[in-house]
């Protein structure tokens, strides 16, 4: 992926860290997640935009560090393989806060600009009691719905198969959990809208890519509305089309 914009500055990050997720945290700081396998402790931190120094380590209680992927080494080829869930997002913007997802913990927390933190979801039974483990991830979260996926830690990293997933949504109004399917209304057929892309910010909930199948769907007459107008000017060599899903304003 190519990011464009105006270069601001560069700075060194924490030694041995790998900042897999970074969001702006006010005018002076960033909120970051370190998913380096060398890190056996806390993974979330507030980092200065000026020099990269750690302003604050975010403390999330857990008993044993766990990583949300399968890994294996193919001794025949000498290759190492990893298999991770599609919706494995460690930080999810939510209104005026961020949801922190630590797979090692039984609680997902909501973190606020004033550095207070409160439980958002508590998983039961505890992850340490499950064999195989079941991870819980969220993305996106709206004022009414919390889209989630429960992922069972079983599969074959070398064959890149496994990690069975159950798509769930919690309806805050009904106070109930359902399995869900979201469809794109610009298709005359029932075409799923992908709800697991990384949230962009507090305004854009997700951004499912629709590019590689648009031309084929257009030729089959499966499109309508604005998407049909866009697809009419595309061919197989066209740049990808990104559909932004934004939070509804009341």
Position 209 confidence tier, pLDDT thresholds 50, 70, 90 = low
Q: What is the pLDDT of residue 99?
A: 95
Average pLDDT over residues 137-153: 90
8 compared with 74, residue with greater pLDDT: 74
Q: Are 181 and 193 in contact (CB under 8 A)?
A: no
1 CB-side CA count, 13 A: 3
Average pLDDT over residues 142-161: 92
The answer to whether residue 152 scores a pLDDT higher than 90 is yes
Q: 88-135: per-residue pLDDT in tens?
A: 899 999 988 999 999 899 999 999 999 999 999 998 888 778 888 899
Q: What is the pLDDT of residue 250?
A: 59
- For strands 91-94 and 79-83, give the pairing: unpaired
Q: 172-181: per-residue pLDDT in tens?
A: 999 999 999 8
Position 1 confidence tier, pLDDT thresholds 50, 70, 90 = very low
Q: What is the pLDDT of residue 205?
A: 66
Q: Are 67 and 60 in contact (CB under 8 A)?
A: no
Question: Model's pTM, two decimal places?
Answer: 0.82
| Residue 211: partners with Cβ closer than 8 Å, 6 or more residues away | 238, 239, 240, 241, 242
The answer to whether residue 51 scores a pLDDT higher than 60 is yes
Average pLDDT over residues 67-73: 90
The answer to whether residue 3 scores a pLDDT higher than 70 is no
> What Å distances lie between residue 99 and 76, 131, 155, 194, CA to CA?
41, 26, 28, 20
Residues above pLDDT 90, as percent of the chain: 44
Lowest mean pLDDT among 65-79, 124-138, 184-198: 184-198
């Amino acid at each position: 992926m190519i990011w464009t914009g105006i270069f601001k500055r560069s700075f060194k990050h924490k030694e041995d860290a790998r900042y897999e997720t970074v969001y702006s945290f006010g005018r002076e700081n960033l909120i970051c997640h370190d998913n380096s396998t060398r890190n056996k402790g806390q993974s979330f931190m507030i980092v200065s935009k000026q020099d990269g120094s750690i302003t604050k380590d975010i403390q999330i209680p857990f008993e044993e560090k766990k990583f949300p992927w399968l890994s294996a080494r193919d001794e025949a080829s000498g290759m190492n393989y990893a298999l991770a869930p599609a919706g494995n997002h460690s930080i999810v913007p939510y209104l005026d806060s961020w949801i922190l997802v630590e797979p090692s913990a039984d609680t997902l927390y909501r973190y606020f600009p004033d550095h207070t933190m409160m439980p958002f979801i508590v998983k039961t039974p505890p992850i340490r009691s499950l064999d195989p483990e079941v991870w819980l991830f969220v993305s996106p979260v709206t004022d009414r719905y919390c889209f989630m996926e429960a992922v069972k830690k079983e599969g074959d990293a070398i064959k890149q198969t496994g990690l069975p997933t159950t798509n769930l949504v919690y309806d805050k109004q009904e106070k109930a959990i359902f399995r869900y399917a979201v469809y794109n209304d610009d298709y005359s057929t029932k075409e799923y809208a992908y709800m697991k892309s990384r949230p962009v910010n507090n305004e854009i909930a997700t951004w499912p890519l629709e590019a590689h199948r648009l031309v084929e769907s257009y030729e089959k007459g499966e499109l309508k509305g604005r998407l049909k107008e866009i697809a009419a000017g595309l061919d197989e060599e066209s740049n990808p089309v990104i559909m932004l899903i934004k939070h509804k304003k009341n």
